[in-house]
Structures are given as structure tokens and as C-alpha cells.
Amino acid sequence: MKDLLKKHIMKYGQMDPEEIQTIIDEILVESYDKGKILIEQGSVSDKCYFVLKGLVRQYGINMDGEEITYNFYSEEDAVVLFNQTNLGLPSLYTLECVEDCVLVVGDLESEEKAYEKHEDLQDVTMKMVEAMMGDLQDYHHRFMSSSPEQRYLNLLDERPDLIDRVPQHQIASYLGIKPESLSRIKRRIQKSKLKVVD
């Protein structure tokens, strides 16, 4: 399963394969049951994660007491709450395992030691972070400039696996709509597909 991490590291830089293997041998990998809370909104954590297997949901409770889903992290995704982790601030989010998960677990102290030991690792990590931030900006732009129906179609196109892995009310929250609106959108799309077939 650590091969997934090796493949991911190699996407972002030219590191010696033996050095990559040494890094991978040193990392902590933990298994978590479905429903496990990795960090609770309002608490402070210095942990970050990389998903080898499973699905992690990032959500928060808003001022009205409603649960809002902000992201889902699946295989080959890094799970980092940048400001909260780096600055020691209370987390604005809860991270919950939606499925049984196998995760690489890191913290700031072990990260610093790894950078001291492996010179090229910091460059690789920076490239990973830049790619993550770019993807996040692109997602935010698409989200803000599209209708709820288009958001759902984008989800079907970009992350179709989520449809079968996540409860509908969490998908609706992630899309910024109510579950009943999502049901209507799905019916409309199904109806339009039937018309095309006819």
C-alpha cells in the first residue's frame, strides 16, 4: 500500500528511488475505523495525513448549527489544515473517516526531521502543496461560477466514486444545496437522459 505514496512522491520530483524508499520506511501508517474523528472542530492538532485507502470528510458546524461539508479526501490525497496545523490555531473543521481508512500520519516535528535528513524532500513537498493550492483555486472558481446542477455534473465527471461512497445529504452539503434540491437535480438529469435515448 505504501507503493501509492512512492508513486505520488515521484510525480513531483526527481528523487533517488532508494532515498524515497528510506522515507517511506520511516513513515507512520495507521488504520482507522469508519466514523473515527481525526480532529474535532475547535481543537488544536499538529497532525497531517495522506490517504492510502479510504475516505476522509472535512466539515464544520456553521453559526446556525448546520453541518457543512467542505471536502472529501480519497486515495492519494493529502489532508492538511494549513493555518490551524502550522500556527497552532483551533481547527475550523472536523475531519472524519467516512470509511475504514489507512493513512500516513505526520506531524510538524517529524516533518522537520525528515527535511533535515532528506534535502530534496522539501522541494517535492513544496511542489505538492503548490499543486494542491492550484487545484483548490480551480475548484473554488468552478464552484462559484456554476449552478447547483452544473456542480453536480462536475462532480459526476471529476469524482464519480463519491456518489457511491458518500450519503446523499453529505453530497448535497458539499454542493451547497439541500438534499431535496439534489434529488430534483438527479431526477431532471435522468429525465433528460431518457429523452436523448428516445
Three-state DSSP class for 171? helix
Q: Tell me the per-residue pLDDT of 47-106, one tens digit each, with 9 for 90 and over.
A: 889 999 999 999 999 999 999 999 999 998 989 876 555 567 888 999 999 999 999 998
Global pTM reads 0.86
With H, G, I as helix, E, B as strand and everything else as coil, classify residue 90.
Answer: coil
CA distance 177 to 195: 26
86 Cβ neighbours under 8 A, 6+ residues apart: 108
User: What cell numbers appear for 60 in the block?
Assistant: 464544520
Query: Which residue ranges make up each domain of the chain?
Result: 2-117
Fold of 2-117: Jelly Rolls (2.60.120)
> Is 84 or 183 the better-scoring residue by pLDDT?
183
The per-residue pLDDT for range 6-51, each reduced to its tens digit, is 787 877 777 788 888 888 888 889 999 999 999 999 998 888 899 9
Contact 56, 79 (CB under 8 A): yes
Q: Choose between 56 and 136: higher pLDDT.
A: 56
